[in-house]
Amino acid sequence: MLNIKNLHARIEDGAQILKGINLEIKPGEVHAIMGPNGAGKSTLSSVIAGKEDYEVTEGEIIFDGENIIEDAPEERAHKGVFLSFQYPVEIPGVSVTNFIKAALNENRKANGLDEMPAKEMLAMIREKSEQLGIKKDFLSRSLNEGFSGGEKKRNEIFQMMMLNPKLAILDETDSGLDIDALRIVADGVNAFKNEGNAVLLITHYQRLLNYIQPDYVHVLANGKIIKTGDKSLALELEEKGYDWLLN
Ligand code: ADP
Ligand code: MG
Ligand code: MG
């Protein structure tokens, strides 16, 4: 599904951050990326999603057999790449529901589909919001306006479940993630996951991996993946930190 080859990227007119990333993600897999602060984890997620502050200087990002490096962020989203928003924007006057309806229909349109019939949309909103314990009044609130950390998380995961991407990239760098927010993310990912999609989970929190079983754990340091293992690597990192890997 995703095949990243020798990816080098830098900040527009700035420092080289990614220095040769190789990563292959197959359908049905969950990959976790961990690593010290400043390693380039958020940069990697932004570069996969196509955020414009970064420039790819070498390498390829193959998604579903196509190099997507030249694609705009929206095109990548339409192809099925989802990136959770670390700092989501507030949109006064646009409700959680109306935002997701518009996003979903735009996605369908870009893929040559008609708008989802209102009844079907409503049923889907009901199903997904119930799975996440989202109440009706939350759905009619203005997007992100006055949302708590947990509510922002819940909204992000709701967006992921509604848009049903092939690849969901979740960048959980928010130091404010309390145990409730971890649970929201974990429950959402576990409900979302199936044999046809994949999750790239970027996290500082070993704890999160107690709730989400990763197939692979990678350590990213200084712009490179320096070690790959299974879930036991996350436990080892929790115990020993990163220093033993950095020399
Ligand atoms: P991580 O998510 O692993 O903590 P980041 O990808 O956020 O690391 O950052 C990697 C490095 O790149 C850091 O030194 C950070 O300061 C720098 N960096 C990332 N994005 C930008 C940007 N838009 N402008 C300036 N520096 C940036
Ligand atoms: Mg950071
Ligand atoms: Mg980060």
Give the pLDDT confidence of 13-72 residue by residue, as tens digits: 889 999 999 999 999 999 999 999 899 999 999 999 999 899 999 999 999 999 999 999
Expressed in angstroms and rounded, the spacing between residue 153 Cα and the centre of ligand 1 is: 22
For residue 43, the ligand 1 atom closest to its alpha carbon is 6
ipTM entry: 0.93
Distance (Å, whole) CA 51 – CA 55: 9
User: For ligand 1, is residue 223 a contact (CB within 6 Å)?
Assistant: no
Chain centroid to CA 32: 11
pLDDT on residue 175: 58
Residue nearest to ligand 1 atom 14, measured at CA = 38
Check whether 212 has a pLDDT greater than 70.
yes
Q: Where are the beta strands (DSSP E) in the chain?
A: 2-11, 16-25, 30-34, 54-63, 66-67, 81-83, 91-95, 142-143, 167-172, 198-203, 216-221, 224-229
| Owner of token pair 């007119």 | 13
Domains of the chain: 2-43+52-245 (3.40.50.300)
Count other Cβ atoms within 10 Å, centred on residue 89: 7
pLDDT on residue 2: 98
Expressed in angstroms and rounded, the spacing between residue 46 Cα and the centre of ligand 3 is: 10
User: For ligand 1, is residue 43 a contact (CB within 6 Å)?
Assistant: yes
User: For ligand 1, is residue 37 a contact (CB within 6 Å)?
Assistant: yes
